Structure 1
Amino acid sequence: MYRLFSNVSGRRANQFNPGMGSRTRFAYFGNPPVPVLYAAATDEAAICETLLHDVPMAGGMITAEACRDKVMARILPTRELRLAKFMGTGLRTLKIEAKDITATTAARYGETVHWAAAAHAAGLDGAVWMSHRCNTDRAYVLFGDRVDMADLVVDSQWARAFALEPDLAWLTDFCVPLHVEVRW
């Protein structure tokens, strides 16, 4: 799993967001809020789900300045995670379509968060779905009261820090065929 996040908070790659910030597709719910960690199956999907999240599919621009505090790490689960399937036959089981849960706009996050709450109430560790912005790869949300930091080992052999020129250059090259300019 690949996680892209802000380095400003001082959080480690396997440390969950404690429940602060804006509402997202599957957070926040509960009182107190259930901590969450978002990740993706590939580094490309992690980029698409975060840095490119609000860039139109037709293309656009992001600034290097907006990327400088971002880092990406690979995290490896040390146990099998029990995840709600918000994709494939999992959608059919729930009698819904991706457009109802994982392919919505942010305006519907107040609705989609209830699916995460239901997965949590069922005792699951999180959810998996096909990334809407990189639909060849899976995206994940994990619940911090079900998955411990020790369940997610940070791969010390792999990382990207977009404040560093080689990683920012990699990002720039990745974005070119996606019609996204990374303005330095």
Structure 2
Amino acid sequence: MALAPHNIPSERCPPNRLHRRRPRHGLRRRPPGVGRGVVTPRPPFPFRAHDEPLPLGSDLYRVHSGGRPPASFNPGFGAATRFAFFGSPHVPILYAAASEQAAVAETLLHDAPLTGGQLLPREYEGRITSRLRTTGDLRLAAFLGLGLRALGVRAEQVTATPASSYGETVKWAEAAHAAGFDGVVYMSRQCNSDRAYAFFGDRCDGAFEVDSSYSWRFDDVSGGREKLITLCGPLGVEVLVPPAG
């Protein structure tokens, strides 16, 4: 019987060498939390967010209680929100939006199911949409577009999370505040064609004036309420009206 020559290499891999597949061209690792149950990471340090300037004379809209001035900041009352509250004492926060529809969506429709539903009178009575105008230039941390990529996150990790993540998302506002920004700007989760804003009260005191020529009062049966019904109708949300008398 002929023996195999000793100089013929074996086809088997040496036992002490692991065989690893090379990754296919173009494949990337998924960002942490994406695709496996979204997780909100801690903000990076140093916090190098992109700036988005909000110039003098910019119009903003906000829905608020009729018992509060339109440009008043919340000093820490109520439940936690996406970017409030942080600091000791709390840094006051004012939320606003770039459009009427985004302001309504982020407040009155915030908890309405995507399949539609009903808006009860107690949810809109006594509330007003006001228009504010900036009295100077503001410097905002951009939590949108390439600003998110620069921070290593996606919208669903910070600006489009459910309310259960607010304890983590608020840390991103705190990081922006510590970095010297006047507030943050992001795409509204409820109306993602429009920008939403969270302003820091200790940086933006006196930064807004109220446009007295504009007011959308939801208690106004012939005006404000009809406008609300018109907005909500195509969304499958029925605006219930209180009984007459």
TM-score > 0.5 by shorter chain? yes
| Most deviating of 161-170 and 97-106 | 161-170
1:171 aligned residue: 228
Is residue 126 of structure 1 aligned with residue 183 of structure 2?
A: yes
TM-score by length of 2: 0.73
1:152 pairs with 197, 201, 208, which one?
208
Give 1:65 shift: 3.0
Secondary structure of 2:213 counterpart: strand
Superposed CA offset, 1:22-53 (max 9, x none): 00000000000000000000000000000000
> When you count helix as a share of all residues, which structure comes out higher?
1
2:152 aligned residue: 95
1:5 aligned residue: 64
Secondary structure of 2:212 counterpart: strand
Give 1:101 shift: 0.5
Superposed CA offset, 1:68-94 (max 9, x none): 111110000011111111100110000
Higher radius of gyration, 1 or 2? 2
Secondary structure of 1:83 counterpart: strand
Count of equivalent residues? 181
Give 1:104 shift: 0.4
Is residue 161 of structure 1 aligned with residue 237 of structure 2?
A: no
2:99 aligned residue: 42
Counting only pairs closer than 5 Å after superposition, residues 24-103 of structure 1 correspond to structure 2 as 24-103=81-160
Determine if contact 1:64/1:168 at 8 Å carries over to the other structure: no
Looking at structure 2, the residues matched to 119 and 65 of structure 1 have their Cα atoms a distance apart, in angstroms, of: 35
2:9 aligned residue: none
Structure 1 segments of 4 or more deviating over 6 A? none
Give 1:6 shift: 1.4
One-letter code of the match for 2:175?
Answer: A
Determine if contact 1:59/1:179 at 8 Å carries over to the other structure: yes
Percent of aligned positions with the same letter in both sequences? Answer: 51
Give 1:11 shift: 2.0
Unaligned 5+ segments in structure 2 are 1-59
One-letter code of the match for 2:211?
Answer: D
Secondary structure of 1:107 counterpart: helix
Secondary structure of 1:82 counterpart: strand
Give 1:115 shift: 0.2
TM-score by length of 1: 0.96
